[in-house]
């Protein structure tokens, strides 16, 4: 028996014992976690559970932000090279964020990469203001696009998914959105499958725990807030079949990934569905459940109950799938893996996509920024954009260096502030060595005033070290995405 086999066996025994303990000692019934599997080509639903239940989208909201932005590019309102200006309102967003100062310019192409990989809330607002003039105007555009796609259960009020009781969706609607992104904008499919990005010396991994771990996984977006739980819209392709899986309300990041693995495996073994996405019964937006008590305050029992249904599901990762195995699990005598085994596989190394601030070389067009609704790109001011809103557009006083350092020190976790990739997000229990490394990284970052405020990843403690602050230096190389023509560019 190899060392890897022994580790996998230990993980199964430990996780199984934990689940049994939690179920016996105090586990209580929990809110069902909605899920859905859809075939992208046909739109047929292969499996669903509570797919029309109202839910908080968290950062999966950013898929709708991308859709509206790409639609604006296709309409010729701006290009992928159009610079977007960071506003004071964007700069004040809660983490996860890039932390750029007001007045910083970043191209739409770079902004979309930062949005999908870093899940940057400040960049979501920057995109919204650049495309539509203000957050509120962009939310109107989101709702119009949502309605045109048949997403009858969704209501949008912000572009980043930060907690707002009015912003709701469903697994059905998110599956419709994911399918629309692939079918309406196939030339931008690579945007959802970037394993890591690099800004200056800082490398940020994608929060999607499926990429690089599950054979055929090729993108989409995760999301997390305490009220929503851990969400994901995930995509995978095998043997010519392209599936999208939606998981909402998982109690941990690993549970989210394991559930998606089990659903993908089920989907690829199912030849056809009984109904279509459009035909699922879908009432209008309703109130969504608030999961903060079981996700951020008492998630032990919730995790045990959630994992009980997926822990013993074997994953078909062999030749029968027609997909090459990862090096981590290849070779003779390969053990059968459970979904949790896959979720806990080491993250492979990705060649990061370079991103930077500033205008594209040779660009001479207008800069997209906050402006009055209906104003053309390149015109308008913050005051005009938010004249009728209770939002102060003026920049705050520049803090002293001491205050800046203090502000960047990690704050205690609170259910009200925890978001995707934020420092307050619940994590798996860290080892003593990782705690020592984290303290060392925090000490180093507190001594460095940077333009980027990084926060911790939600996938594994060992990955948190990639998120310490470093002094950014704009990279000269441009990200490898399609060219930025108004029609959407080349594939």
The residue whose two tokens read 């014992």 is 17
**Distances, alpha carbon 325 to alpha carbons 322, 337, 421, in Å:** 9, 12, 29
**What residue ranges in 138-295 does DSSP mark as E strands?**
196-199, 202-205, 217-225, 229-238, 241-250, 275-276
Q: Which residues contact 99 (CB under 8 A, 6 or more apart)?
A: 91, 122, 450, 451, 452, 453, 454
Instruction: Please report the pLDDT score of residue 307 as a whole number.
Output: 84
Instruction: Please report the pLDDT score of residue 98 as a whole number.
Output: 98
Residues assigned a catalytic role? 59, 62, 119
Q: What is the dihedral of CA 49, 34, 235, 148, to 10 degrees?
A: 100
pLDDT band at 308 (very low <50, low <70, confident <90, very high): confident
Instruction: Please report the pLDDT score of residue 485 as a whole number.
Output: 37
Which pair of tokens denotes residue 329? 């699990």
Domains and CATH numbers, the chain: 3-355 (3.40.710.10)
What is the C-alpha separation between 233 and 174, in angstroms, rounded?
7
pLDDT at 260 over 80: yes
pLDDT at 278 over 50: yes
Model-level pTM?
Answer: 0.76
Q: Mean pLDDT, to the nearest integer, of 117-131?
A: 98
* pLDDT tens for each residue of 323-375: 333 433 444 345 578 899 999 999 889 999 999 999 999 999 999 999 998 88
Instruction: Please report the pLDDT score of residue 141 as a whole number.
Output: 98
* pLDDT tens for each residue of 48-107: 999 999 999 999 999 999 999 999 999 999 999 999 999 999 999 999 999 999 999 999
Mean pLDDT of the residues in the chain = 78
What is the C-alpha separation between 43 and 244, in angstroms, rounded?
10
Per residue in 184-223, is it b (16+ CB within 10 Å) or e — as a string?
Answer: ebebbbebbebbbbbbbebebbbbbbbbbbbbbbbbbbbb
Instruction: Please report the pLDDT score of residue 444 as a whole number.
Output: 45
What is the C-alpha separation between 255 and 253, in angstroms, rounded?
5
C-beta of residue 65 within 8 angstroms of C-beta of residue 178: no
pLDDT at 432 over 70: no
* pLDDT tens for each residue of 13-44: 444 444 433 333 333 344 579 999 999 999 99
pLDDT band at 129 (very low <50, low <70, confident <90, very high): very high
């Amino acid at each position: 028996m190899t060392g890897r086999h022994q580790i996998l066996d230990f993980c199964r025994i430990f996780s199984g014992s934990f689940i049994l303990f939690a179920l016996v000692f105090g586990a209580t019934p929990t809110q069902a976690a909605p899920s859905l599997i859809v075939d992208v080509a046909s739109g047929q639903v292969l499996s669903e559970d509570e797919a029309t239940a109202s839910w908080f989208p968290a950062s999966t909201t950013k898929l709708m932000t991308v859709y509206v932005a790409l639609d604006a590019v296709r309409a010729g309102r701006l290009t992928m090279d159009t610079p977007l200006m960071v506003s004071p309102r964007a700069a004040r967003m809660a983490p996860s964020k890039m932390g750029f100062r007001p007045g910083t310019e970043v191209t739409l192409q770079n902004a979309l990469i930062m949005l999908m990989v870093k899940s940057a809330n400040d960049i979501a607002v920057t995109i919204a203001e650049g495309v539509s003039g203000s957050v509120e105007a962009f939310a109107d555009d989101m709702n119009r696009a949502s309605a045109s796609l048949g997403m009858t259960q969704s209501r949008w009020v912000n572009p980043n998914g930060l907690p707002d009781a009015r912003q709701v969706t469903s697994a059905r609607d998110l599956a419709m959105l994911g399918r629309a992104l692939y079918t309406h904008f196939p030339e931008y499919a690579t945007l959802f499958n970037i394993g890591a990005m690099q800004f200056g010396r800082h490398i940020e991994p994608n929060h999607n725990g499926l990429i690089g771990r599950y054979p055929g996984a090729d993108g989409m977006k995760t999301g997390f807030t305490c009220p929503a739980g851990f969400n994901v819209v995930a995509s995978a392709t095998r043997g010519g079949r392209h599936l999208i899986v939606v998981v909402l309300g998982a109690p941990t990041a690993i549970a989210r990934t394991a559930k998606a693995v089990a659903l993908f495996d089920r989907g690829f073994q199912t030849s056809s569905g009984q109904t279509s996405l459009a035909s699922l019964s879908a009432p209008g937006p309703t109130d969504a459940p608030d999961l903060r008590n079981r996700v951020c305050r008492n998630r032990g029992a919730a995790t045990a109950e959630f994992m009980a249904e997926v822990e013993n599901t074997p994953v078909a990762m062999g030749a029968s799938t027609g997909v090459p195995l990862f090096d981590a699990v290849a070779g003779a005598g390969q053990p059968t893996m459970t979904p949790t085994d896959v979720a806990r596989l080491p993250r492979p190394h990705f060649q990061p996509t370079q991103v930077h601030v500033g205008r594209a070389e040779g660009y001479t067009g207008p800069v997209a920024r906050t402006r009055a609704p209906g104003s053309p790109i390149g015109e308008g001011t913050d005051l005009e954009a938010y004249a009728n809103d209770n939002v102060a557009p003026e920049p705050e006083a520049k803090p002293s260096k001491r205050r800046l350092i203090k502000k960047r020190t990690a704050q205690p976790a609170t259910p009200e502030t925890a978001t995707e990739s934020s420092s307050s997000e619940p994590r798996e229990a860290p080892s003593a060595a990782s705690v020592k490394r984290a303290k060392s990284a925090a000490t180093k970052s507190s001594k460095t005033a940077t333009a980027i405020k990084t926060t911790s990843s939600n996938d594994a403690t060992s990955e948190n070290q990639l998120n310490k602050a470093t002094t950014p230096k704009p990279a000269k190389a441009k990200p490898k995405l399609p060219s930025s023509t108004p029609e959407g560019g080349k594939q």
